Structure 1
Amino acid sequence: MALSNEVEALVNQGVKLLASKKYDDAAEKFSNACELHLQETGRDDAGLLFLYGKALFENAVSKSEILGGQSEEQEEEKPQQDDEANEVGKDGTGNFSFSEDVPLAEADEDQVVAAEEEAEDEVQQEGPKDTKHDGNQQSASEEHEENENVPKEDSEFDIAWDVLDSARGLFEEQLKQHPQTVPDVPPLKGVRDEPKDQITKIKKNLADVYDFLGQVSLETENFAQASIDFANCLKYRKELYPAYSQLISESHYMISLALEFTKEEGANEEETLKLEEKARLQAVEHMKQAISCIKQRYSLPETTSKDENLLQDMEQRLQELERDPLKELEQQKMDILKGILGQATSNSSSEKEQDANKPVNDLTGMVRKRKANVKNSPNKRTN
Structure 2
Amino acid sequence: MADVVVSSDNTNPKELLGQGIRAYVLQDYTSAVAALSKASELLVAEHGDDLHDSLADVYLYYGKALLGLSREDSEALGDAVRNKDESDEEDEEEVENRETEGGDEKEVTENAEANGTVSSSEEKKEGSSSEADTNVESNGDEKDCEPSASTSADGVEENADAEDEPTDLQVAWEVLELAKTIYKKRGEDGKKNLAETLVILGEVSLESENFESAINDIKEGLRMQKELFPDDSRTVAETFYKLGVAYSTDTQIDEAVESFQSSLRYLQNRINNLEKAGDGKDEVAEEIEEIKGLVPDIEEKIADMKSYKDETMKQIMSAVAESKPTSSAAGGPSSSVSADSSTSKPASDISHLVKRKRKLDEIAEESEKDVEASPAKKVPS
Q: Between Structure 1 and Structure 2, how many residues are aligned? A: 223
TM-aligned CA distance change 1:321 to 1:8, over 3 Å: same
Paired position in structure 1 for 2:330 = none
Within 5 Å, which residues of 2 pair with 1:324-363? 324-330=310-316
Alignment of 1:11 with 2:2, yes or no, is no
Q: Secondary structure at the match of 1:313?
A: helix
Bigger RCO of structures 1 and 2 (CA < 8 A, at least 6 apart): 2
Paired position in structure 2 for 1:43 = 49
Whole-angstrom distance in 2 between the partners of 1:326 and 1:57: 33
What does the per-residue CA deviation read over 1:114-169, in whole Å, with 9 as the maximum and x for residues that have no partner?
xxxxxxxxxxxxxxxxxxxxxxx9973xx44999xx96642212211221122112
Please point out which of 258, 270, 283 is paired with 1:285.
258
Paired position in structure 2 for 1:211 = 199
Whichever residue aligns with residue 293 of structure 1, its letter is Y
TM-aligned CA distance change 1:221 to 1:295, over 3 Å: same
Please point out which of 40, 46, 68 is paired with 1:58.
68
TM-aligned CA distance change 1:32 to 1:238, over 3 Å: same
- Structure of larger gyration radius: 1
TM-aligned CA distance change 1:297 to 1:21, over 3 Å: closer
Within 5 Å, which residues of 2 pair with 1:152-171? 153-171=165-183
Whole-angstrom distance in 2 between the partners of 1:26 and 1:258: 26
1:231 CA drift (Å): 0.9
Within 5 Å, which residues of 2 pair with 1:76-225? 140=142, 143-144=143-144, 153-175=165-187, 199=189, 202-225=190-213
1:241 CA drift (Å): 0.6
TM-score (norm 1): 0.50
Whichever residue aligns with residue 251 of structure 1, its letter is T
1:331 CA drift (Å): 5.7
Please point out which of 241, 249, 253 is paired with 1:253.
241
Whichever residue aligns with residue 216 of structure 1, its letter is V
Alignment of 1:231 with 2:206, yes or no, is no
TM-aligned CA distance change 1:7 to 1:217, over 3 Å: same
Whole-angstrom distance in 2 between the partners of 1:30 and 1:19: 13
TM-aligned CA distance change 1:228 to 1:173, over 3 Å: same
What does the per-residue CA deviation read over 1:58-85, in whole Å, with 9 as the maximum and x for residues that have no partner?
22222222999xxxxxxxxxxxxxxxxx
Larger relative helix fraction:
1
Q: What CA RMSD, in Å, does the superposition of the two structures yield over aligned residues? A: 3.5
Whole-angstrom distance in 2 between the partners of 1:288 and 1:67: 23
TM-score (norm 2): 0.51
Whichever residue aligns with residue 64 of structure 2, its letter is K
Whole-angstrom distance in 2 between the partners of 1:237 and 1:321: 25
Whichever residue aligns with residue 63 of structure 1, its letter is D
Whole-angstrom distance in 1 between the partners of 2:295 and 2:219: 22
Percent of paired sites with the same residue: 28
Whole-angstrom distance in 2 between the partners of 1:54 and 1:203: 18
Whole-angstrom distance in 2 between the partners of 1:229 and 1:162: 14
Whole-angstrom distance in 2 between the partners of 1:310 and 1:9: 35
What does the per-residue CA deviation read over 1:159-206, in whole Å, with 9 as the maximum and x for residues that have no partner?
11221122112211222xx5xxxxxxxxxxxxxxxxxxxx2xx12211
Whole-angstrom distance in 2 between the partners of 1:253 and 1:66: 18
Q: Secondary structure at the match of 2:31?
A: helix
1:259 CA drift (Å): 0.8
Answer whether contact 1:224 1:259 (CA < 8 A) is retained.
Answer: no
Whole-angstrom distance in 1 between the partners of 2:46 and 2:316: 66
Q: Secondary structure at the match of 1:244?
A: coil
Answer whether contact 1:217 1:223 (CA < 8 A) is retained.
Answer: yes
Please point out which of 9, 19, 34 is paired with 1:28.
34
Answer whether contact 1:11 1:30 (CA < 8 A) is retained.
Answer: yes
TM-aligned CA distance change 1:325 to 1:152, over 3 Å: farther
TM-aligned CA distance change 1:312 to 1:20, over 3 Å: closer
Whole-angstrom distance in 1 between the partners of 2:205 and 2:305: 21
1:18 CA drift (Å): 3.3
Alignment of 1:310 with 2:316, yes or no, is no
Alignment of 1:244 with 2:244, yes or no, is no
What does the per-residue CA deviation read over 1:330-354, in whole Å, with 9 as the maximum and x for residues that have no partner?
46669999xxxxxxxxxxxxxxxxx
TM-aligned CA distance change 1:239 to 1:13, over 3 Å: same
Q: Runs of 5+ in structure 1 lacking a partner?
A: 69-136, 179-198, 263-275, 338-383
1:309 CA drift (Å): 4.6
1:207 CA drift (Å): 2.0
Alignment of 1:299 with 2:272, yes or no, is yes
Whole-angstrom distance in 2 between the partners of 1:66 and 1:249: 23
TM-aligned CA distance change 1:173 to 1:335, over 3 Å: same
Q: Secondary structure at the match of 2:258?
A: helix
